[in-house]
Amino acid sequence: MVIPTTAVLLLQDGRFFIGKSFGANGETRGEVCFNTGMTGYQEILTDPSYCRQIVTMTTPHVGNYGVNPNDVESNRIHVAGFVVKEETDVPSNWRSSQSIGDYLREQNIVGIQGIDTRALTRHIRDNGAMNGIISTMDTNIESLTKKLKNAPQMAGLDLAKEVTCKTSYRWNEIEKKQFKVAAIDFGIKHNILRLLENHGCDVSVFPANVTSNEIMNFDPDGVFLSNGPGDPSAVTYGIKMVKDILGLKPLFGICLGHQILAIALGAKTFKLKFGHRGCNHPVKNIETGKIEITSQNHGFAVDLDSLPSNVDATHVNLNDNTSEGISCKKLKAFSVQYHPESSPGPHDSRYLFEQFTLLMQS
């Protein structure tokens, strides 16, 4: 059994929390945010969209069902740090292969436990997401404050280039599918690729900096723009590529892909106060009037007032009325801000993958 040492979490505005180490010993910096999901911690840890972020879980007990090799959303943990109220170091689940603490230590991820995560969450809600530092080596607040001053702010950061694949690859291994799809990897999740495959797509994944010429030479039936971390306006190469192929191929975007598509169409994005992260966010489908409970993970949003006249708002967040989906029917392009692949989360929105195949069919 690993005996935890003292750990400190210091926020950019001077608020600090003293707890115990969780995972690897060391020091880490990143934007501190919170996730309201009661489950799915392994998918959260391995979601590339959390690159450079310290994630706080609002549910008090984390690690109850352990960790297994099948529920990962990428090839490694991407969070910068992890904050929980209490670690479950003896998991109970037949699929479990190790505890969450062992998993974090194995991949050298620093975390903190034993702090008031409710107070931390309320502080972020009131004051906005901000940079923080977790340390199990240095508990001196003055020293940590100096280290934190050098941490870059999330606004303006292009993090897609840090998490994207280095070279293109084919996701499907066996049978030929009906639709040939080029998926642009800005930080793509495995379950998105699985669902594209399940809906008859033969998927080839391309790096974030792929050019429009490379895409057109590949000649897909449709192009998918994936989720990912960082500021969408900083992904200038991705925006240019989308601009160049608009109207030439059907386009479907999720999360960062939604924001990149919106900018390419002429809209603007902005940073949310503390973002949307969790599995229970209500979204209204404006076209059908139905309410979907959705899985979300984003810190930026599309400015609805900046949408050009040829772009329609298709979905809206019922918590704060921000953009959750757009469509440009003339150019055969649509996108959503939330995560219809729902890993973790409800399956209300998986119809969007069928909508993409129907667009390619037409």
Least Cα distance to 84 among 108, 60, 105 occurs for: 60
Q: Are 21 and 5 in contact (CB under 8 A)?
A: yes
How far is C-alpha 172 from the geometric centre of its chain's CA atoms? 23
- As annotated, the active-site residues are 255, 339, 341
Residue keyed to tokens 């931390």:
120
Q: Which of 170, 263, 259 is nearest to 218 (CA)?
A: 170
Question: d(Cα 240, Cα 237) in Å, to the nearest integer?
Answer: 5
CA distance 58 to 45: 14
Rounded Cα distance, 192 and 197, in Å? 9
User: Tokens in use for 206?
Assistant: 């391309």
Q: Residue 153: what residue type? A: Q
